Structures are given as C-alpha cells and as structure tokens.
Chain A
Amino acid sequence: MKHPLCILSLLALASALSSVASAADDGDSALNDAVRAAVAEAGPSVMRIETFGGLEKVGDVLIGSGPSTGIAVGEDGYVLCSAYSFAQQPTSILVTMPSGKRAAAKVIARDHSRMLVLLKVNSEEKLQPAEPVARTEMTIGQTAIALGRTFDSDTPNVSVGILSATNRIWGKAIQTDAKISPSNYGGPLIDLHGKVLGILVPMSPQGEGALAGAQWYDSGIGFAVPLAEVLPHLDTMKRGEDLHPGKLGVSLSGKDNLSQPVQVAAVLPGSPASKAGIEKDDVIVEVAGQKIRWLAQLKHALGPRYAGEELAITVKRGDENIETSVTLAGDVPAYDTPFLGVLPMRGGNGKGVAVRYVYPKSPAEEAGLKAGDLIVRCQEQDVDSADQLRNMVGTHDRKTGPLAIELERDGKAVRVAVEPGSLPEQIPDPLPAAHSLDESPQPGAAIGLVPIKVPEIANDAFAFVPASYRPDLPHSLIVWLDAPGEFDKERIEPTWGGLSEKHNSIVLVPRASNVDAWQPTESEFVRKAMDEVIDKYNIDDDRVVVGGYQAGGTFAAIVATAHPDAVRGIALVDAAPPARASLPTSDPVQRLSVFVSASDKSKHKAQVKQAVEALRTNKIPVSVLSPTPEPAPLDGQQREHLSRWVDSLDRI
C-alpha cells in the first residue's frame, strides 16, 4: 500500500459494504434488488422451449415432457440448450419468442463434448443474444444466479448461489451451489450484472452422455459450461457441423487419475498422436504450455479441446525432450489389440509363463506353440509373469514386425517369430486345468454363501465362494445382476455352485434396493461390493466380469462403463444396451470383452444387433451365443459357456 488512493478505495469499499449490510437488516433487500436487476437484464435471452413426442424413458431415466430452457446466442434465431432436453429425440420443438408467440425450431448441430444443442428458430422476430463472461474474470465465491423458464410465468425461475469452482469436469465446466435441475438445464448461470457465466448442464466427471450427472439435481453441485468458450465455435455449429471432443489417440499405461508418469502404452495407428510422431513408451510432459505430471492433468489439458484444434505437446523419450504439434481428431480408429493365441497357467511363480492352452488357428498355433511350453523371453526381454507378457503383446507395435518369442520345451530352447492376430470371439472348447498346484491349503477365508456388506449402504449382496477356494490361486469374479425384484438368495448356490468350483470363480450377486429398477447411483454400490470381494479374496483383475439378465444386463453395462479400470467383461443376456450411452472402445491396458445371448423373439433384438456391430467396429471382441427360441435366463449349458468365456479372459 503506497498510494493515498488506497484509503479512498478502502473507504468506498467500507461504505458500500455497510450500505448493503444495513439494508440487509430487513432481509437482504439490497441483494434482492441486485438479483432482480440482474434477472431483468438477462431475462430476455432466456428462452422457453417445449418438445413434443419422443421417448418416455431414456435408459433408466424417466424423461419429463415439460418445458425446458435455452439461451439466445444470435439475434437471428439461434438458441443454445442442454442436450438433456433432447435426449428423448423429440419430433417437434417449439421456442417461445420474446413477443410471447411460439415458433417452430430445429436442431442445427450438437456439441458432443459439452452436451449442448444449437437450435434455429423459424421466425423473423429478433432475439436478444446473451453476453458472456470470460472464465478469467470469474471469482470463486461470487454470486451466481441460475435461471430457467420452465414455469408458467413471465419472469424466469431463479435460484441464487455462489460460484463454487471454475475448473471442473476436466476443464469443461464451472460449478455452483445454486439449485440446478431439469427446471433450469439449458438456462444461464449469470452474475450480478446479468452477464452469462455459463449454460447449465447435467454433467459428471465419470459418465458421458446427455443424462450423465442428472442424478445430482438440486444437490448443491451443479455445473455450467462457460458460454465464452462455446461462442468461438458457434459459426462451425451454425454450418450444421457437430463438435466432438478432441482425441489424441494414445493408450496410457496408468489406470487411475493420479498415476505418473503419463506414459504412452500404445499409439493408435492413424491417430493424431501417431501422425505427430509420438511413440510407445514416450512420457507426455507438457501440453499447450501446461506441465503434465499425472494423468488427471492430461485429462484437464485435453478435456476442453474440440476435434480439429491444434496443440503443442512435449514428450520425453529416453533423456530427450521432443516437441511436436498434434491436430486433435474426433474419431480415432479403434485399437486392434495384438493377440498371440494362448492361455497362461495360473498360480505359478518364478521364471516364464507356462502355456495352458493354444487357441486353434491362432498365430501361436501356426507358429508351433504347444500347451506345456514355457515362454521365457519376448522381444529379447525376460518374461516373469503373465501380466507382463500380456502387456508386451497387447501394446506391440505391428509396424515393427513380428514378436520374437523364446520358449523352453522339454528343457530345450526354441525361438519363434509370431505375427500377432486380433482378440478372438470364439469361446474355447473345454479347457485343461489352469494350475498344477499341490494339494489345496486351507481356504483362509469364508466359503459358501458369504454376505458382503458395504458400509453405509443398505443394499444386500452375497458372494458364492467355492469350497475349492485357495488363496494362492487367482479366481475369476462374476458379478451377476438380477433384474430388479428377481433377486433370490436361495438360488445363488444351485445356479452357480458347480461352475464356480470347476472354473475357479467367485460369483457376487448384489441386490437392487428398488423392485422396479436399478438406480444409476447403485453403480457405486456394485463397485464397492466388488472391491470388498477383491479385498478379501485372490481375484485375477483380468477376469472381472459384470453381467445380468434383461434390466440387470443393461445395468451391468452401465456399471462396466462407469468403472473401466475394474471391469474386463460385460455379459448381456436378453438385455438392451443402455440407450444413448457412449459405447466403450478397445484399449490395450483396460481391456474389455463382451458376451451376448439374446433370443430371436427378444424385444431388444434390433438394439442388441446394432450394439454388437458398433462394439466390433470399436474392436471389442463380442462372443455371441446362438439365439434361444424364447427370451429366457441362461440355462445350465449356456452358463457353462459363460463361465468358460470368463475363464479365458486372461488370454494373451
């Protein structure tokens, strides 16, 4: 403080504050007036939107058909809204103009990154475009007012709160404690001057899709996409071009957000990263001037970027820093995970990986590998574990030629070169034993039907642990989700007991709290129940599968998509894939395989067929059982197939 002006400004500040404070004696009337003035300022840009027709339900979420809100962004009839209101694919859209007249509107383009929709209204009447605030001018703690136009009223509906955070959802959103719900999704979050901080949307850091995050309505956590960051892309959208999240096209070695360094496990062929010369094993150290130390920072740097944007990236290769520039892409060709064609023996330790089974017609069989071989080296590196070998094969760059494999067979060294293939969809024939361990030690943990309790959650869950369980042998985990209301504790053992024994698996059956439907929030409960089992028993993280019949199967897919770090397989039995949820795509580190059984008479036949095709395009192997005559839960033989499929997921 070096200048007398400081005194003046301090005095001015003090008097301003005290005038607010004294007026506040009768209930913050000065703030009320300020809020009303701001609402009046922004109000004309807040548009009421009505949608007609379309689906009653999207996935498990009941969509109301009531009015929603949008923001005028161009005087010539352009209105920006949340994709939430358009998830049900309405047949007709009406916008109420400032004069009170309704006019028809149509969807011009979508922003698939921030889940927005741009409408064009068919009317000559001029709109008042909203005025945006730059993110750099926002202060955490400033008053933030959420507006919607969903009630029958001349004035927008108002919720008052503060700005809680300025950099959320991987940089895409700001956060407020004002009450955000379908009553104001699509409306603006404004400041006390009536300028727009952001457009209100449901969002979740985990999920994607138009409905993700809607379960958090009115909870003290609400999100808005800064309008100032969408407007520069408005011209693209006006041309009818959709905006897509910008992708780099690498698979990373770390699984969780705090893993470091951020090392490239594989570069997807034809991806922006590949074109920019990024290679396997490079460590990403800087993106667009931001230092990257852990995975979350990379997500923050890439999150707000659209496809087509150019970024400077620095990678560390050995001791050298290499600067390059990438143009992000919306669509990256899926990664075709290289596959050798063997199943490893389990429970061994020490040198090499013993081959349990060789897939017929696989690259391994063609190269002459046999069950009983011991793989000791791969690409001139010693092999110590199946995980290590799987990772080396899965991230192998095909451009560099075949894999050099060194075996021990009958005490002799054998060298073979294997040109890897793709992950198989066929379910192997009955398999040889997966281990050659000595007589079983004590299980060391509860066996039979074991209740699994998750702290602070009321739902029941039971795990069936076979009597043959031994802690030195990694087991599969099959999480089976019954359709809500179909849970029957007494049926678990008769249904799964024999198969658990035979295939060394533990079956976890969680129970939906509601008999009508699985709630999206119960995904967390299922995950926690899985973690409890993984904590207590020796579970092979390559053989964790979530599956279910009908609504249980649909929910299984939701659980799997929400937890790609933990789930390696999804089993859908006569189940519709989740509507409009983005389908997973292949990743050599977080692998995923899908098992499908559906009847020719299934209601969901068309959706299932479509999902299977889309998953295959995404290079996810889908094993489809021959269709049953009538929709039904799996019979004994089909469960045997399922168990064998799970048993084979540690394939290399």
Chain B
Amino acid sequence: MITLPRTGWLSLAFVLLACVATERMAAAQALREVIDDTQPKLVKIYGAGGLRGLEAYQSGLLISDTGHVLTVWSYVLDTDFVTVTLDDGRKFEAQLVGHDPRLEIAVLKIDARDLPAFELTEAVDLQIADRVLAFSNLYGVATGNEPTSVLKGVVAAKSNLMARRGVFKTTYGGPVYVLDAMTNNPGAPGGALTDGRGRLAGLLGKELRNSQNNTWLNYAIPAAELIASIDNIIAGRTLPPPPDEAMPPAEPLNLNLLGIVLVPDVLDRTPPFVDHVEAGSPAEEAGVRPDDLVLFLGEHVVQSCRILREQLGMLDRAEQITITVQRGQELIEFTLAADP
C-alpha cells in the first residue's frame, strides 16, 4: 500500500487540477482568438429611424476585402445616408449595391481596401445542439472602435420560418437556425452567426415574433440560403419579386360548393364543426357528417371557422382538396372536389 504524507496528496491533487486548469485556459484562449479574429469582420450600420421605438442602427458583416457588406434589408437602409463604422472606428458612407426582397437582405459597398472579411465559400452548416457564437451590435452599445457584442449559445432547432401561411410575418419561408441565445433584440439584425471556430454559419434575422406561441424568436438564416442571392446582387442581376401568395384565384373554392354548412361563427375562434351537409353535395358523397370537426385542410391546420373560409378562398374551385376531421376520438380523411 502506497503511503504519502498528507501534503503529498494535496500537491498531487493540485498538480492534476493545475493540468486541467491549463487545458481549460487553452480552450478559453482559443475562444478568445476566434473572437479576436472575427470581430473585425463585423460593422455597425447607422441610417434612418429613431422614431417611435424604431432604432436607427443595425449590424452588418464584411463579405469581401474590398468593402462589400451583407446586412438585412430594413427601414434603416431607407435613406440616402447610410453610415458604416468598421471595427477600427473608421467611418464610411455606404452605397446600396442591391437587395433581395424575398430574403430581406441587402449588400452595401464602402470605399475601402484590404479589409478582413468572411469567406462565403467556407461557410459551414450546423446541426442541432452545435455551439455557436452570435456577433452583433446588440442595442447599439458599441460605438466607434468598440468591438461588437458576442453571445454564446447552441442551435435550438432547424425549422422552416414560415411552416404555415400567415404564421410568421415575413416574406422568407425557408429554413432557419432557431438559436438558444437572445439575439432577437434591436441592433442585432445583420449580425453574424458563426460556429465555435468563427466560420460563418448564418445572418442574424430581423426581429420577429413567433405568432404560433406569441414568443420572440431568436434565429439566423443559414449562409447556404444566402450565397446565390448575394452573388446575384453583387453581379447586378435583377431578382424576381417575391411571389404574392396572398392573391386569391379568380374562381375561389367555398363551403357552399362543397355542401358544408358550419356552425354559426360567433366566437373569435369558433371551432369549425360541421352543422349540416347538403343532400347530394360532394361532402355528403365523400361521407362528411354533421358534428365532424374540421382540423386540417391539406397540411394546413384549421383553427377556426374564419380560417377555414379564408384558406378555401385561396384555392381554385377546380382543385381537389383533402380535409381531416375529428369524429369522436377518430381522425378521418376525406378527399373532395367541388366539380367531380
């Protein structure tokens, strides 16, 4: 049996702990270097706003050594005088190169050279639970040559921003990284999301509420979604306007055509129960019955009588539709068409 004096044990333990501490410090050092290397690639953007709670600033990131700045397209840029402040404090007046109304991004250009910049071709794709860093001028706290703020977090989810029509108020409906870091604050839009090594992963988006559960949404648009659009903007190619999804067809579908009468719509959110079904109608032939509760129209959730009417109004009457109803504890799917 080995015996050591008490102090010997303690010093052994101390040495071991010191080893661990050194490793930890090395990791902290690495993180420090990553941040030091990344911050010069961020810029602060000042423009229009300043009224009624609209902040006159946002963030941006350099994507070329010759002064191309990627940021979000917002009211801040809606002025002839947009100022970009670099990490070293130099101020430039920026020109708008172009913007993409669908992604709500814009590229600005400042007259400078040999700038540190993110390499879009080296952008990375992230997985859920990956550690991330978010760089931005949150709340506009950094001015002049003060570096931007850094938040650390993880990727909470990968999801389509507009999984359903009318749920999120934005024209972009593609995938986003939902973040477990508080990036949904004034000034953050246009900031950079990077992985733990400082490689670009996405652009921090504009402030949005997740109207599904009425909470603020912290998110970034993945770099992969942006690259083609950035190339187009820089190359001066015009982009098609976003499709206007809100245009109803010339001859929309409605409940009468299907032969469904709902219960009277008396509440803000009256559940779409079927009151009765017209004899000989497409609904009756398909097997829809009174007291069925309509839950889905295709893949869309139907929360109320009003929403069902609105959603039908967006479909052409020639279309065949699928509805899912709840009858007692059963879910039943029906396929219907107004003109069989």
Contacts and interface: CB of A to CB of B under 8 A. Distances in A.
Interface string B151-189: 000111111100100010000000000101010000000
A604 to B, nearest CB: 15
A183 B215 contact: yes
Nearest to B196: A27
B215 A181 contact: yes
Given A10-B13, A27-B196, A158-B128, A54 B269 contact: yes
Interface stretch (B238-246, B278-286, B326-334): B326-334
B41 to A, nearest CB: 17
A26 B329 contact: no
Contact of B156 (A4, A13, A62, A157): A157
A106 B329 contact: yes
B2 interface: yes
Interface stretch (B15-23, B68-76, B84-92, B112-120): B15-23
Interface in A136-167: 150-153, 155-160
A92 interface: yes
B154 A24 contact: no
Interface string A56-70: 100000111111100
Nearest to B215: A181
Given A158-B128, A182-B214, A10 B196 contact: no
Interface in A22-50: 22, 24-29, 31-32, 35-36, 39, 50
Contact of A159 (B16, B154, B269): B154
B97 interface: no
Contacts of A179: 156, 180
B163 A152 contact: yes
B129 A32 contact: yes
Most B-side CB within 10 Å, residue of A4, A13, A21: A21
Contact of B293 (A4, A52, A156): A52
The DSSP consensus for interface residues of chain A is: mixed
Interface in B121-154: 127-131, 154
A155 B213 contact: no
Interface residues of B, number: 55
A: interface residue count bin: 35 or more
Interface stretch (B24-32, B53-61, B101-109, B221-229): B24-32
Nearest to A91: B271
Given A10-B12, A52-B303, A122-B330, A155 B128 contact: yes
A554 B166 CA distance: 32
B214 A151 contact: no
B321 interface: no
A1 B158 CA distance: 49
A641 to B, nearest CB: 35
A104 interface: yes
Contacts of B216: 218
A64 B197 contact: no
A53 B270 CA distance: 6
A92 B293 contact: yes
Nearest to B157: A157
A620 to B, nearest CB: 31
Interface in B195-229: 195-197, 210-216
Contacts of B210: 64, 66, 183
A218 B295 contact: no
Interface string B251-285: 00000000000000000111100000000000000
Given A36-B128, A65-B303, A66-B213, A151 B159 contact: yes
Contacts of B1: 4
B9 interface: yes
B129 A158 contact: yes
B263 to A, nearest CB: 11
Given A28-B131, A103-B331, A157 B212 contact: no
A27 B197 contact: yes
A17 interface: yes
B197 A26 contact: yes
Given A4-B1, A104-B329, A159-B180, A50 B301 contact: yes
A11 interface: yes
A92 B129 contact: no
Nearest to B25: A21
A55 interface: yes
B304 interface: yes
A52 B297 CA distance: 13
The DSSP consensus for interface residues of chain B is: mixed
Given A52-B293, A53-B269, A25 B26 contact: yes
B182 A65 contact: no
A652 B30 CA distance: 72
Contact of B331 (A36, A102, A158): A102
A94 interface: yes
Most A-side CB within 10 Å, residue of B27, B156, B215, B303: B156
Contacts of B197: 26-27
Contacts of A178: 180
A150 B156 CA distance: 11
A150 B212 contact: yes
Contacts of B19: 14, 18
Given A14-B19, A182-B215, A65 B163 contact: no
Given A32-B130, A151-B178, A217 B24 contact: no
Given A10-B16, A28-B196, A155 B23 contact: no
Contacts of A4: 1-2
A152 B27 CA distance: 35
A31 B24 CA distance: 14
Interface in A1-22: 1, 4, 6-7, 10-11, 13-14, 17-18, 21-22
A157 B196 CA distance: 20
A151 B213 CA distance: 11
Contacts of A54: 269, 271
A153 B159 CA distance: 6
A336 B8 CA distance: 71
A53 B303 contact: yes
A17 B23 contact: yes
Nearest to A157: B157
A158 B157 contact: yes
A187 to B, nearest CB: 12
A25 B30 contact: yes
A530 B13 CA distance: 57
A217 B27 CA distance: 32
Nearest to B2: A4
Contacts of B23: 17-18, 21-22
A159 B156 contact: yes
Most B-side CB within 10 Å, residue of A25, A56, A155, A160: A25
B154 A55 contact: no
B214 A64 contact: yes
Contact of A21 (B17, B20, B127, B331): B20
Given A29-B196, A106-B329, A182-B215, A56 B178 contact: no
B8 to A, nearest CB: 10
Interface in A59-105: 62-68, 91-92, 94, 102-104
A36 B129 contact: yes
A549 to B, nearest CB: 23
